Each structure stands twice: as C-alpha cells, then as structure tokens.
Amino acid sequence: MGLRTYIRENFILDIKPYKPKNLRKPERVLDIVSAWKGLEMIIEDIIEQFHLPRKRCIEFGVEFGYSTVVFSNYFGSVTGVDTFEGDEHTVNKNEHFEETSRRLVAYPNIRLVKSDYKDWIVTDQQRYNLAHVDIVHNYKETYECGLWAAQHSDCTIFHDTESFPAVREAVKDIAKATGQTLYNYPEHYGLGILVDTKSLRKKAR
Ligand SMILES: C[S@@+](CC[C@H](N)C(=O)[O-])C[C@H]1O[C@@H](n2cnc3c(N)ncnc32)[C@H](O)[C@@H]1O
C-alpha cells in the first residue's frame, strides 16, 4: 500500500482535539462506580460550544445510570435504551432493569427502555439534540447504532474512543459517511464528538 493510500484510509485529516472552555459539575450526579466518571465535567461545555437546544437526549448504553443522570441535568427529556443484561465488555452480566429503574425514579425526565438498540432504531423517527453511544465496544454495533444516532441528532458522543480502537474506527467511519465534524476528547477513556454543523446552522437561521 502506498503512503497516500495508507493516509487516506487510516486518518481523518480534520479530526479536531476537543478543548473544553469551562469545566462544570452538574448539580445531580449518582454516587456509583462508572468508567464514565469525569466526563460529566464537559457536558454543559459541549452543549454551549455547539449551541445545542436542550429538548431531547437519547442514550444507548445506560448500565447503572451514571451518564443518564448527568444528561438529565441539561435536557427536558432523556431516553435511555439498554438491554440491561451487560455485554462481553462489562463486568456485570446480570439482568438489572428493575433495580436500575428504581435507582432512577427520582429523575422524572428520564425514561428507561429495556431494548436492544437494533429493535429501537427501526421504530424511532424522532430527532434529538444529543445522542450518546456507549454500548458493546465492537466496530459493527458501534457503527450501526452510531450511524443511526448521527442521522437523528444534532450532536452524537461516543465513549471509549481511546480505550477501544474499534470504537475509534467506527466513529471515524461515521464521520466520513455523514460528513459531520469530528472532535475527540482524550480524557476518561476518550469521548468522540460528532457535530451535525449543517443541521445546527439551519436551526440558527
Ligand atoms: C459500558 S456500559 C454503559 C455505561 C454507562 N453509560 C455509564 O455511564 O456507566 C454498556 C452498556 O451497553 C449495554 N448494551 C450492550 N450492547 C447493547 C445493545 N446491543 N443494545 C442495547 N444495549 C446494549 C450493556 O447492557 C451495558 O449496560
């Protein structure tokens, strides 16, 4: 393979480092263990930097609800989709929908749905202001779920772009397929941020 082909196939030349301007802790945060911890400090900054409306947020990969509760601080409604059965990369593989629902009952703007993302995306036609993808960290699933999310949201964020090369590859390919702008925040295992600048520009007019 020539150098030019290698560069074309392996890099997105304009992958931008995400630089938060203001780190701010949300008012409500769950006191539980999560690899997502730390990212709550940049969510409001992302909303502000990209001028995201604060109506609707969807999350794929709730687990015990850490990130879900963070989003509930900022959006009118948060839909959290998960099998609640864990996956090959999670430590917990016990079913825990009822238990997690009870934990999140204090947050009335959160709606939890026990579903595989595959079943959810064929029925939902809504648009969201923010989508979060944090499911099993394989290429195929991240690409399929993430492409749907990017096509239905102003901004889509992906956890684990630093710790799982398959996630990073999927996010880069979704950026290529959609023409959206890709940022990466390297802290806390990495957060890929895809922004639909065209749709946001239209909304601002
Ligand atoms: C890394 S955990 C999510 C962590 C969570 N965002 C947090 O803040 O701690 C991944 C979750 O994705 C869920 N998951 C994996 N594959 C899925 C699929 N195909 N559809 C729906 N949920 C899935 C698992 O059940 C697991 O709860």
The mean per-residue pLDDT over the stretch 126-154 comes to 98
**Average per-residue pLDDT for the chain:** 94
**Structural domain span for residue 76:** 20-204
Banded pLDDT at 15 (limits 50, 70, 90): confident
The string over 169-196, giving b where at least 16 C-beta atoms fall within 10 Å of a residue's C-beta and e elsewhere, is ebbbbbbeebebbbbbbeebbbbbbbbb
Whole-model pTM: value is 0.94
Domains contained in the chain, number: 1
Q: For residue range 146-157, list pLDDT tens digits in order.
A: 999 999 999 999
Q: Measured in angstroms, how far is the CA atom of residue 168 from the centroid of ligand 1?
A: 17
Whether residue 5 is contained in a domain is answered as no
Note the pLDDT tens digit of each residue in 87-105. 999 989 999 999 999 999 9
Q: In this structure, what CATH number is given to the domain that contains residue 128?
A: 3.40.50.150
Closest residue to atom 27 of ligand 1, CA basis: 63
What residues line ligand 1, using a CB cutoff of 6 Å? 34, 36, 60-63, 66-67, 81-87, 90, 116-117, 134-136, 141
Query: Given this model, what pLDDT does residue 204 score?
Result: 82
